[in-house]
Amino acid sequence: MVSVRRAADSMLGRALRLFLILMLAGVFAARPALAQDDDEQVLRDTETEAFFKDISNPLAKAAGLDTSKVQVILLSDTSINAGATSGQLVGVNAGTIFAADNVLELQGVIAHEFGHLAGGHVPLSGDNYGKFGKISLLSLLAGVAAIAAGAPEAGMAVMGAGTQIAQSGALAFSRAQEASADAAGASYLRAAHLSGSGMLSFFGKLKVEEYRLSPADEAINPFMQDHPMSAERQATLDKDVKSSPYYNVPVDPALQARFLRIKAKLQGFLLDPTTVMRTFPETNQSVPAHYARAYAWHRSAYPDKADAEADALLRTAPLDPYFNELKGQILLENGHPREALAPLRIAVAQSGSAPLISAMFGHALLATDDPKNFAEAERVLKVSVDKDREDPLAWYALGTVYAQQGDEAHAALATAERYAMGGDDRLARQNAELAMRGMAEGSIDYLRAEDIAVTSRNNLDDKVRHKR
């Protein structure tokens, strides 16, 4: 980045600057509205995260959890699954959303996982219980879901006679936790004045899935499952759930409309485009259908068709932040950053400067290659990282802006933040120490660079000691 600044007035400098912009365009591909971390398979999307917060907060309060700390995240796995960790984190597979018919079913899943969090259940560990990428979401909704994810040993342990008794005891403990989480989840739904009908109907889906995925010539041994069988769970909860005075309360129409939008955009983003077009044919002119097709066309490199679908969405709601975000994304990723500015500016304003949307807007400003836009890019990217420090591509773009402006120290600090987040301690330390050399000692940014340098150095020392 330093070389870009020093050569800024030369042809080489302009070539390098354009190279950086093109590289940014590459790393921001498939960024918000939906962005995927290929390593951990976490999907980031402002609309989905806001929706998760709105539907989970009443349940978190009912469970006595701190709503400022509890986080529901979206995972790209298309199997039906969800899980919780002791770090107040609940992960929901995309496949769970695909399988759900309404928001009450999704709330039932989240209520169950909050039961694990509130109960202090420590997720089982080890290869026999599967993983969701690097995030060990090990308290599964159904063991059979791990079979669908390609880890059959997680759903059905095949043990030798000598260890079978001990194994079944551990599974019984897990089954007890699952039953406890079921009961707790039902109580949270009641306390939040929500119907538990979705919890029951989703168990019905799991029951079908269990038998579909089990070997045709083998009976399922319920005592060798780390979860109670879904039919058993459904029967146990049936009376409790149906006795709630809120059992017949219908789905909130506004929340259901948001759920269908999110489900459709997720299908458009993750599923094969031919499947998307079959599910949402052009005769379907609903908002979810336009949403799904816009993503599918965009992924298939048909920008005109994707743009037309985005325009159809905007005709229904011109100021909708997420429709404008999608419009800007399509334009930006197809080489039209200047045209992307207007819809992205609306998206930022209407979303309250949501960090992921602000990051995309900052990138678009930078991608215009117009120095007049760099100051605004710096402002919006600072807003982005101040609100969400866990977006490495926002740090990348901010570092590029600083480099364009000749601020080597802050460019190095932004780069150090990005490498620290990615676990590259060597480069994080190098860039943090470079930043410190160009900053006033004791300033806020100097102290932040010092923190990164010290932490990275300690991590590197630990790795050396572990090798000995």
pLDDT, average across residues 146-171: 31
pLDDT band (50, 70, 90) for residue 210? low
Q: Residue 66, Cβ neighbours under 10 Å: how many?
A: 9
pLDDT for 392 beyond 50: yes
pLDDT, average across residues 289-308: 97
Higher pLDDT, 433 or 209: 433
pLDDT band (50, 70, 90) for residue 283? very high
* Strands, sheet with 42-44, edge to edge from the N-terminal-most edge strand: 35-37, 42-44, 71-75, 89-93, 82-85
DSSP secondary structure string for all residues of 312-363? HHHHH-TT-HHHHHHHHHHHHHTT-HHHHHHHHHHHHHHTTS-HHHHHHHHH
Inter-residue contact 363 to 397 (CB < 8 Å): yes
pLDDT for 2 beyond 50: no
Inter-residue contact 149 to 77 (CB < 8 Å): yes
**pTM > 0.85:** no
How many whole angstroms separate alpha carbon 155 and alpha carbon 208?
A: 15
CA end-to-end span of the chain: 36
pLDDT for 53 beyond 60: yes
- The proportion of the chain whose per-residue pLDDT surpasses 90, expressed as a percent, equals 59
pLDDT band (50, 70, 90) for residue 33? low
Q: Do β-strands 71-75 and 35-37 pair in parallel, antiparallel, or remain unpaired?
A: unpaired
pLDDT, average across residues 199-226: 60
Question: CATH code for 2-31+283-467?
Answer: 1.25.40.10
Q: Cβ contacts of residue 304 below 8 Å, gap of 6+?
A: none
Higher pLDDT, 258 or 21: 258
How many whole angstroms separate alpha carbon 278 and alpha carbon 270?
A: 14
pLDDT band (50, 70, 90) for residue 29? very low
Q: SS3 for 229?
A: coil
pLDDT, average across residues 176-199: 90
The residues spanned by each domain of the chain are: 2-31+283-467, 42-253
Hunting for tokens 């509890």 — which residue is that? Answer: 70
pLDDT at 466: 75
pLDDT, average across residues 190-207: 89
Domains 2-31+283-467 and 42-253 share a fold: no
How many whole angstroms separate alpha carbon 340 and alpha carbon 70?
A: 34
CATH superfamily ID and name for 42-253? Metalloproteases ("zincins"), catalytic domain (3.30.2010.10)
pLDDT for 67 beyond 70: yes
**Cα–Cα nearest to 76, from 131, 133, 32, 130:** 133
How many whole angstroms separate alpha carbon 124 and alpha carbon 170?
A: 9
pLDDT for 162 beyond 50: no
pLDDT, average across residues 312-327: 98
How many whole angstroms separate alpha carbon 398 and alpha carbon 458?
A: 26
How many whole angstroms separate alpha carbon 136 and alpha carbon 129?
A: 10
Amino acid at 36: Q
- Identify the H or E element spanning 16: helix 11-27
